Amino acid sequence: MHPTTITSWALLVAKALQKRGIDSNEVFDEVGLDPAALKQAGARYPVAKMTRLWQRAAELTDDECIGLEAARHWHPTTAHALGYTWLASDNLKEAFLRLQRYIHIFNDMAIIRIDDEPHEFVVQLTAENRDDDVAAEAIDAGIATIVQMCRATLGEEFRPIRVELQRTAPGCVDRFNEFFGAPIRFGGDVDAVYLDTTLVSKALPESNKELALANEKLAIEYLSRLKSSDMSIKAARVLIEKLPDGAITADQVANELHLSARTFQRRLKDENTSFSKLMDDVRKELATSYMEGTDKSVTEITYLLGFAETSTFSRAFKRWTGQSPTRFREAI
């Protein structure tokens, strides 16, 4: 199966071209991309043709910094529901973990690696089976978009600690310096943004658990349609839908997905997870959302998450957050 990227990512290139007075429709036609797909929510383009689009955009504009210009057009809808999930997250660390989880909305080859070090929070952008054919402009845009997303939550004054790029230094280094406002290492080992650890843990005033969860469900649904092989995402969707009906077993989820229990467990293992871990992750996300975003009682939440007894839920909640449900809600 050929890798794809969401067409709204290509829309950033179209806007960058149009700003230069270039007919983006003609360029898209030239590289074999249907411009009409830009208006179709959730549509995808082949990555190979997107690579050609980035290269052609750089050629037509004679601008090695076209990736930075494209990133300036980022909007929450650029990545389907992921953008609004990002904006509604409790803090940047939580937002980045969501970006890591749902990065295939952007590009199903992309990988986000996170290294939470004592003094730096490192976000690396890479790809499965990456080769030399990847357009430098696409990587520039990806790293720049990460910074733009941070600015959408923290304000335009946000600056990373430093940036590292594998590409050689372009002729427009001054514009890279202006955009990032931080030291940049070209010819590096990775493509990454380095952030202040304290900053990424700082509570965001615009966070909204209920809104984050609602959009996360949409992200899960979109990816489950896109990637039939991503078993953990499909299973999480079943759990979110079925937990309010009571405790659900691995066998029941497997049945919902039309798989044998053995095949279901094996495919989760192939994705480095398990049913118990997946269940715990989904319950934790739902629990904190209900506690912060609704006035539902602890008893109601207990049953919505499929727990048989309030005491069992309370123990799990304290394990997740370090606080009892009552103390957690009092602190809000």
Tens-place pLDDT, residues 34-93: 999 898 888 899 999 999 999 999 999 999 999 999 999 999 999 899 999 999 999 999
Chain segment 4-38, per-residue pLDDT in tens: 899 999 999 999 999 999 999 999 999 999 999 89
Q: Which of 59-68, 185-194, 241-250 shows the lowest per-residue confidence on average (mean pLDDT)?
A: 241-250
Virtual torsion, Cα 321, 324, 325, 326, nearest 10 deg? -140
Query: Hey, is 106 helix, strand or coil?
Result: coil
Final residue in a domain of this structure, among 201, 218, 251: 201
* 50 belongs to a structural domain: yes
Is 194 in the same domain as 233? no
**Domains in the chain, number:** 2
Chain segment 269-297, per-residue pLDDT in tens: 887 789 999 999 889 888 887 887 778 89
What is the CATH classification number for the domain harbouring 313? 1.10.10.60
Q: Which of 80-84, 186-190, 235-239 shows the lowest per-residue confidence on average (mean pLDDT)?
A: 235-239
Beta bridge partners of 4: 46
Contacts of 205 (CB under 8 A, 6+ apart): none
Q: How many CB atoms lie within 10 A of CB 148?
A: 20
* 206 belongs to a structural domain: no
Is 188 in the same domain as 257? no
Residue-range definition of the domain harbouring residue 50? 4-201
Is 178 in the same domain as 57? yes
Mutual angle of helices 275-293 and 209-226, in 10-degree steps: 150
Instruction: Please give the pLDDT value at position 244.
Output: 85
CA distances (Å), origin 259, targets 230, 278, 279, 282: 14, 17, 18, 21
Is 99 in the same domain as 136? yes
* 149 belongs to a structural domain: yes
* 170 belongs to a structural domain: yes
Chain segment 115-150, per-residue pLDDT in tens: 998 889 999 999 876 655 689 999 999 999 999 999
